Amino acid sequence: MAEKSVFDQIKKQNGESFAKAIRTYDNGIFDIPNIVNIVKYAGREAEPLMQYLISLKKIKIEDVEEVKDPFELLSDAGYDAYYATNLNEQNRISKYFEPNEMLCTFRDPSRFQRYHIINAVKKNVSEIKREDFRGKEQREDAYGTSVISIQVAMQGGFISIKNRYNHSISNPDNTFNSNPDNIIKGLSNSLKKYLQVDFSSSNVSLPNNFVNINNQIVRYHIEENNVYFADSYYAKDGNIFPLNKDNELMLDTCILNIKNRTLYDPSCCLEPISIDNIQEKSGSFVSVLAHELKGKSLQIVKSKDGGHSVFANGKTIISVKNGEITALNLPNTTIVGDDFLRNNKALQILNAQNLTIVGNNFLYRNENLQILNTPNLIKVGDNFLWFNKILHTLNAQNLTIVGNDFLHHNETLQILNTPNLTKVGDGFLWFNKILHTLNAQNLTIVGNDFLRCNKMFKTLDMHKLTTVGCCFLQSNKILQILNAQNLTTVGDYFLWFNENLQILNTPKLKRIGKISSTLKALLQKAQTRNPSNNKKLNIHKKNTVTISVTRRKNTR
């Protein structure tokens, strides 16, 4: 049986769209030595890799002492050549091609506007007969190279030399390995000078989520501790480890082996963990998942969209697509530790009805979570869903304490029902502009940058609030009424950029940091309006305002 072409090998290995994308853009890539192995773990999309793959062609432009005109050099090589400046000139050589071998160039009416095209025809073209090579065609034989088209992208970085055979032989768009010096020495440098475009290979960095391991391009979705994870393999210490697709399933950075009933995270564990023998509860993802699966009948089911779901005693615990967790159900979990699924970006739904405490960096990089159902959550650490912008439902009525940067980048949450919340750290919903309902009547202490960019509150009632940090509700320009009867201490830039505040009900306020002239005038107005409270406004050199309150003694 004839050996499969490089195109067919890559098509089988990486998919048809991957192979076709290469062939369409620059089929000279197929001539790169060992290219099938190089792209073995490169995934199914070739477009992000094109510039890197082209750089592997290693086209060099060597400086020469005497730079000749490229048309003079081509004449020395036996060609009559011309530069195409319009569609007619672009397609003028079509008469030399058989109907089923027409270049795709001839069907592109604007190619000459995007590429420098130099067409060249051998001076003795009429003497070179196809019949002389029938059945033994070679890309660089005399007939194939008797008519060529040198095409260079005007933006640089790409060159293709096409020949007369087109796609009836292997990689005709890479004639002479797309190196003009293989036509005649000095032609590469001559074309570079004449066209003012550099088409030589240069060092090109791999795009994001690709890494080079032992001369193989490895696509990954998560990197953890220098271990790279994809849907069907992981790479560690310079080696690539494929998964057994019959028994193993990638869950972000964790590998579930349903046959051996083990979980293994190569980024942190030396050995796989037995699901049924696990004792410790570290709060890590591996530990949490193992306890959810312990002693239960497990099944992996493939879904219509190509993803997979893991069932435990008939109930869905986890869903994944392309190796990334998209849905998670943790009915028995009460505590999770630091860095729980820290690098996950794909999770959309999380149900954890009995979860009470989460550590720092919970789903830190997640950008796709939309529904979080944790009605018994009491306490969360720093950087809770820090990158997530789209969470629109948060069920956490029992939440009492949150650390710094809680939902720091969220832009979609509109209602937050946390009646038991007492303390929040810095950066609470910093970038959320549309939150319009906040049920937090027991909140007493907030850190810096509380609701800093919010634009929706006209009235805010926070009766138990005692202390706020810097930049409280900074940039909220429509707030008119703030009721905070127990507020005593406020940091710098309190209500900074507010222009519409009318009522500031803070009778116990004793210390304010740097404030705007607008707020200062409002406080002075309040002092004049309520002399019975004997408020004394002292402006210090550092623009710090201290308000001391001395109430009249009861003379009864």
The whole-angstrom separation of Cα 300 and Cα 298 is: 7
DSSP letter for each residue of 466-508: -EE-TTTTTT-----EEE-TT--EE-TTTTTT-----EEE-TT
Instruction: Give the tokens for residue 88.
Output: 């007619």
pLDDT band at 536 (very low <50, low <70, confident <90, very high): very low
DSSP secondary structure, 142-178, as one string: TTGGGEEEEEEETTSS-EEEE-TTGGGSS-TTBGGGG
Task: Give the whole-number percent of the chain exceeding pLDDT 70.
Answer: 93
Question: How far, in Å, CA of 220 to CA of 241, rounded?
Answer: 13
> Which residue is it, tokens 């740097």?
514
Query: pLDDT band for position 546 (50/70/90)?
Result: very low
Structure confidence at residue 1 as a pLDDT band (50, 70, 90):
low
Q: How far apart are the first and last CA of the chain?
A: 113
What pLDDT was estimated at residue 519? Answer: 77
- pTM recorded for the entire structure: 0.74
CA atoms within 13 A on the CB side of 133: 18
Q: Distance (Å, rounded) from C-alpha 100 to C-alpha 119? A: 20
Give the pLDDT band (50/70/90) at residue 34: very high
Delimit the domains of the chain by residue range.
6-58+204-213, 70-195, 444-556
The alpha-carbon radius of gyration of the chain (Å, integer) is: 34
Residue 554 is classified by DSSP as: P
Residue 480 pLDDT > 70: yes
Element (H, E) at 519: helix 517-529
| Order of strands, sheet of 503-505, starting from the edge strand that comes earlier in the sequence | 459-461, 481-483, 503-505
Rounded CA separation 263/249 (Å): 10
Q: What is the pLDDT of residues 51-86, one digit of tens each?
A: 899 889 888 777 777 789 999 999 999 999 999 999
